[in-house]
């Protein structure tokens, strides 16, 4: 996580695209997006739903909407624009050029949260690998005003094809090393899982949506001190503790990552 994002003043935008089916309505999606922003210490200065009749391949939003967003960015003196949806690399680049601000989409925002919260070796490796995979598609030429890092595991997107290719090569090499490290971690985890499988005790997993209270319940049942806060994705690494249940000598309770 870098200081461009943490503590930044931001506008949160929730595109409501005509004809696209959503699981929850726009107001709920906007509220959740603001919760994700707050989870990494972003100061939300403004948040709004933007109706999108036709998706513009270059900017997602219409030209008039982009101009209004730019005006609002100046009005609220924000340095970050969060779009609660998926942006293509071209859309992200063009919005950054037009708004003169850092722009991240929902995937980028969640990866920032994961990068900050992952505590175990495997969790950190998985998050960095996912972030690099996401980032390499966003290395495009001519960043002009954005001569800086883009996100928790970001790389400079400087002007010129030579620098971009060097960045891509560096990312590919790092991803190859991470995959090797992950494979070793997974082998170790498989051995541990096999050992637990031979134990005579049942394993109980707490499963549910992020911020539903799984960690709070886990702490109450086990006496543990797992991080339990009113934040989305507060828990990113599974934790296991032994508990006693009526009629059972011992059971293993697992606190899991939320959906």
| Residues 107, 9 within the same domain | yes
Per-residue model confidence (pLDDT) at position 244: 82
CB 164 within 8 A of CB 138: no
* Integer Cα distance of 196 and 201 in angstroms: 8
Query: pLDDT, tens digit, for every residue of 183-223?
Result: 888 787 777 667 666 767 888 888 888 777 888 888 888 88
Burial of residue 135, with CB atoms counted within 10 A of its CB: 0-12 exposed, 13-18 middle, 19 or more buried: buried
CB 29 within 8 A of CB 43: no
Lowest mean pLDDT among 30-34, 114-118, 202-206, 235-239: 235-239
The token pair that represents 150 in the structure block: 């883009």
Average pLDDT over residues 233-238: 65
| Residues 124, 189 within the same domain | yes
pLDDT at 227 over 90: no
| Residues 126, 223 within the same domain | no
CB 11 within 8 A of CB 163: no
Structural domain span for residue 59 = 1-116
Tokens 């031979």 found at: 198
Confidence of residue 136 (pLDDT cuts 50, 70, 90): confident
Secondary structure (3-state) at 151 = coil
In Å, how far are 45, 135, 199 from 150, measured between CA atoms? 21, 9, 46
| Residues 204, 249 within the same domain | yes
* Phi, psi for 4 (deg, rounded to 5): -65, -35
Q: Which helix (H) or strand (E) holds 203?
A: strand 203-206
| Residues 9, 107 within the same domain | yes
| Residues 76, 142 within the same domain | no
Give the residue with greater pLDDT, 254 vs 231: 254
Query: pLDDT, tens digit, for every residue of 38-81?
Result: 988 899 999 999 999 999 999 999 999 999 999 999 999 999 99
Pairing mode, strands 248-255 and 203-206: parallel
| Residues 55, 137 within the same domain | no
Q: Is the whole-model pTM more than 0.95?
A: no
| Residues 170, 205 within the same domain | no
Question: In total, how many domains does the chain have?
Answer: 3
Q: Which of 64, 90, 116 is the last residue of a domain?
A: 116
């Amino acid at each position: 996580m870098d200081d461009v994002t943490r503590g930044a003043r931001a506008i949160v935008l929730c595109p409501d695209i005509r004809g696209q089916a959503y699981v929850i309505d726009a107001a709920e999606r906007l509220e959740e997006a603001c919760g994700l922003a707050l989870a990494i210490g972003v100061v939300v200065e403004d948040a709004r739903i933007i109706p999108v009749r036709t998706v513009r391949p270059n900017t997602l939003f219409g030209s008039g909407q982009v101009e209004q967003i730019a005006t609002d960015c100046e009005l609220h003196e924000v340095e970050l624009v969060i779009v609660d949806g998926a942006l293509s690399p071209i859309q992200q680049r063009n919005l950054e050029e037009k708004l003169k601000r850092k722009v991240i989409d929902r995937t980028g925002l969640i990866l920032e949260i994961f990068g900050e919260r992952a505590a175990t070796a495997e969790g950190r490796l998985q998050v960095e690998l996912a972030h690099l995979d996401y980032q390499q598609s966003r290395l495009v030429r001519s960043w002009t005003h954005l001569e800086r890092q883009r996100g928790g595991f970001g790389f400079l997107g400087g002007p010129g094809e030579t620098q971009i290719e060097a960045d891509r090569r560096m990312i590919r090499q790092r991803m190859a090393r991470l995959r090797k490290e992950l494979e070793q971690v997974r082998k170790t985890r498989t051995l541990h899982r096999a050992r637990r499988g031979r134990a005579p005790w049942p394993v109980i997993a707490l499963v549910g949506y992020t911020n539903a209270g799984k960690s709070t319940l886990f702490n109450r049942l086990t006496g543990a001190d797992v991080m339990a806060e009113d934040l989305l994705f507060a828990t990113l690494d599974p934790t296991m503790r032994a508990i006693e249940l009526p009629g059972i000598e011992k059971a293993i309770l697992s606190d899991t990552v939320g959906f």
